[in-house]
Amino acid sequence: MTASKDTGQPQLSSKPPVSGRGWMLRGARAAISIPAFILTSAFVGFAGMARETGLSLAETLLMTGAVWALPSVVVLTGAMASGMGLIPAAVAVALASVRLMPMTMALMPFLKVPGKTKTWHLLIASHFVAVTAWVYAMKNLPDLPREVRLPFFIGFGGGVTSFVFVSTGIAYMLVERMPPMAAGALVLVTPVYFLCSLWGAARMNADKAAMISGLLLGPLFFLYFPGLDLLWTGLLGGTLAYLVTRFWRRGLS
Amino acid sequence: MSNLMTETWWWPYVMILVAGWLATDVWRWLGVFAGGKLREDSELFIWVRCVATALVAGVISKLVLFPQGVLGDTPIWLRLAAAALGFVCFLAVGQRVIVGVLSAVVFLLTGWWILGS
């Protein structure tokens, strides 16, 4: 993209001039990491689930690459399995992925070179915002010179996505040859992965309360109000958790 | 009507692109445009996070209680115990996701194998 020489910032001119493409490659190399492997195992679990649900290989891969956020992917799979309509499914997926907006917002100040970065570059980069790449970027981008962060992040996000994409495809094809028990165990990977990573990502009591209320209300609404049960679980469970913990935090103000 | 739509080959792709890709990426794009204008720790976002968390948690318990395919053949208590054990192990080792996932899978497979033989 830009060599760091002509920026006029003295601390950057001492860096060896590596091209934008070079930084993309460095990002892709950094993508070979423990969090990426854990994410891969979760998507391998999703491949098992998608297969059991009756999604084709092409559908599974399109979902992996185009949606690229495991909660949304799993919600969408559930919606398609239960024959949900387009609009309710879109609302459920949108509700499950609102968190991507504050995450992207928090990341932008690190990626942007004010007055220089093109918005469409940021829009492309934003597709890679999902928990794994985001946590890594928030932690490591500040150590890099501002100019190279965007190519580095695109390389990292693209690296993780391609690796997961290929692994999901291979896993999908292997599930058929697996003994049924192994295929079944693979389906359990997704919920346990979420159980752990949601709890780990919880920043305050409100998040944990929301998680507990969702775990309890989900099956109840599924049994008594099937169809839009996920929407109700999210809206009612989430609002309830928010109100109760807000009362704890700040009383009735 | 819905039967007719679900039977055409292209309908799943419309679902994935509209209800999946658009419904997800729209938040990322909004995040790019709103960057720096909204506070991430505002009450609105705390509520939004609660709704999203509860929704995904609902998916988790549905996946454990009413799974698709062969996993549905296992007794419900075995699945619940496996998920609970995975979560406890995850907490016990200082919140390492991989430990939680592996212990749940190993427990499930062991229990399944003992019950089946």
Chain B residues touching residue A183 (CB < 8 angstroms): 69-70
**Rounded to an integer, what distance in angstroms lies between the CA atom of residue B59 and that of residue A116?**
42
pLDDT in tens, A36-77: 887 888 898 899 889 888 899 999 999 999 999 988 998 999
Q: Which chain A residues contact residue B64 at CB under 8 A?
A: 188, 191
Q: Where are the domains of chain A?
A: 19-200, 202-253
CB B49 within 8 A of CB A99: yes
Amino acid at A152: F
Q: How many CB pairs under 8 A join A and B?
A: 338
B21 to chain A: which residues are within 8 Å by CB? 66-67
Q: Note whether B45 contacts A102, CB cutoff 8 Å.
A: yes
Q: Ranked by mean pLDDT, which of A92-106, A139-153, B81-95 comes out on top?
A: B81-95
* A59 within 8 A of B16, measured Cβ to Cβ: yes
Q: Which pLDDT score is estimated for A184?
A: 86
Smallest Cα–Cα separation from A131: which of A43, A25, A239?
A: A43
Q: What backbone torsions phi and psi does residue B35 show, to the nearest 5 degrees?
A: -40, 120
Q: A192–B13: do the CB atoms touch at under 8 Å?
A: no
Provide Rg for chain A, Cα atoms.
Answer: 21
Identify which of A57, A100, A60 has the alpha carbon closest to the alpha carbon of residue A80: A60
pTM for this predicted structure: 0.79
Interface touch A196/B90, C-beta < 8 Å: yes
Question: What separation in angstroms does the CA of A96 have from each of A101, A247, B25, B108?
Answer: 11, 24, 12, 28
Confidence (pLDDT) at A15: 54
Compute the distance between CA of residue B111 and CA of residue B100 in angstroms, rounded to an integer.
17
Q: What is the mean pLDDT of residues A180-199?
A: 87
Q: pLDDT tens, A220-232?
A: 999 998 778 888 9
pLDDT of residue A173: 93
Contact B101 A189 (CB under 8 A): yes
- The Cα A126–Cα B28 span in angstroms is 6
Interval A201-216: pLDDT, tens = 787 899 899 999 999 9
Interface test with B, best of A60, A84, A101, A239 (most B CBs within 10 A): A101
